Amino acid sequence: MNKSLGAFYSGEYRNLLNECGYTEEQINSRLEQAWITLFGGNGEEQIYWESGTDEGYMLDTGNLDVRTEGMSYGMMMAVQMNKKDVFDRLWKWSNTHMRLHDGENAGYFAWSCQPDGSKGSDGPAPDGEEFFAMALFFASHRWGDAAEPFNYSEQAQQLLSICIHKGEDRFGHPMWNPENKLIKFIPNCEYSDPSYHLPHFYELFALWGDPVDQSFWQEAAAASRAYLRLACHPDTGLAPEYAHYDGTPNNDKGYGHFYSDSYRVAANIGLDFEWFHVDEWQVEEANRIQAFFADKDPADYRRYRISGEPFEEKSLHPVGLIATNAMASLAGNGPHARATVEQFWNTPLRTGSRRYYDNCLYLFSLLALSGNYRIWLPLAK
């Protein structure tokens, strides 16, 4: 693998939409319109609302709550789109209402709150914390740090330290298993969610987190890439929602199949390959999952066993699946890579009560496929 081809080393980001024949004007217009629609539209596709004078939140429209997943996603979208006001509103809401101050989860964020700010949980979901940290680092590098809570880089470093050192000198449980360096589904369990694995983030955490944790994050990046090889089926490319540390599906609670969480694996693999270009397996994996869906109608997407057998249950988020499969084309080079991107381009944002998750994945894919999901390096001093 030629690492120099990765955007981290080259500073160059592929614009797959342009490679597929769409003009820069068309692409920029689509991206700007998607932002306007989701963050200030008429409510049909909208997922962001302002609160008070200086806060805002992302609403899970299917469950009518506010989740760390969505809040951290919104922050990442905002920093990529250079929307500092929205970023700061989301971070202020998160830090004010979601931060946990007592008990074994002190320092983490409640994974679910009500739109009025009341907590719906006293526990976290680690995908929120890792996206919070990465978005905060990017904000620091793009805009510079300010007074607390907008001392972005310090906030990110403190959060990551809590995530991996809880249980050593603090009451509670770490979000990463300290022995195998794999992220957990929740801190007080010992299994994982393949879609939580973001080795491209961990590479950067090694550079910008606490220097004493550099080797941990380097090992975590390697461990996550190896884990995904185990969790993704060798023929279909499908990953389960929950998996044991050996990569086998964890179906104890019915989440051992390819369903909503699993969709993000393809997107994460595509972005890791775009940024760091270190794992040839990611090319094969992208090709496999795109081949699996090539002959399937989105109206008939299902829950699947990772070996490919469908259940009767339909997909809750077909637009999200279209988006993540397209994002896999950042790694894929197979016969379906272009068609998968074109299918995404021809798919509109989702309306209706289930739109939140789909439209988050849609905007991430639009950013990535247009070369606008970027690594923001520290400001020159």
Whole-number average pLDDT of the chain = 97
Q: Render pLDDT for 70-94 as a digit per residue (tens, 0 to 9).
A: 999 999 999 999 999 999 999 999 9
- Per-residue confidence band for 212, with pLDDT thresholds at 50, 70 and 90: very high
Residue 106 has pLDDT above 80, yes or no: yes
Share of the chain above pLDDT 90, in %: 95
Q: Render pLDDT for 29-49 as a digit per residue (tens, 0 to 9).
A: 999 999 999 999 778 899 999
Catalytic residue, from 69, 88, 193, 213: name it.
Answer: 69
Residue 173 has pLDDT above 70, yes or no: yes
pTM of the predicted model as reported, rounded to 2 decimal places: 0.97
What pLDDT score was predicted for residue 365? 98
Specify whether 246 is catalytic. Answer: no
Residue 126 has pLDDT above 90, yes or no: yes
What pLDDT score was predicted for residue 4? 77
Lowest mean pLDDT among 55-69, 109-123, 160-174, 258-272: 160-174
Catalytic residue, from 261, 274, 279, 358: name it.
Answer: 261
Q: Render pLDDT for 252-267 as a digit per residue (tens, 0 to 9).
A: 999 999 999 999 999 9
Domain boundaries, the chain: 1-42+232-375
What pLDDT score was predicted for residue 5? 87
36 Cβ contact partners less than 8 Å away, ≥ 6 residues apart: none
Specify whether 69 is catalytic. Answer: yes
- Per-residue confidence band for 381, with pLDDT thresholds at 50, 70 and 90: low
Segment 309-326 shows an average pLDDT of: 98
What pLDDT score was predicted for residue 121? 95
Residue 2 has pLDDT above 90, yes or no: no
* Domain boundaries 1-42+232-375, corresponding CATH code: 1.50.10.10
Segment 197-226 shows an average pLDDT of: 98
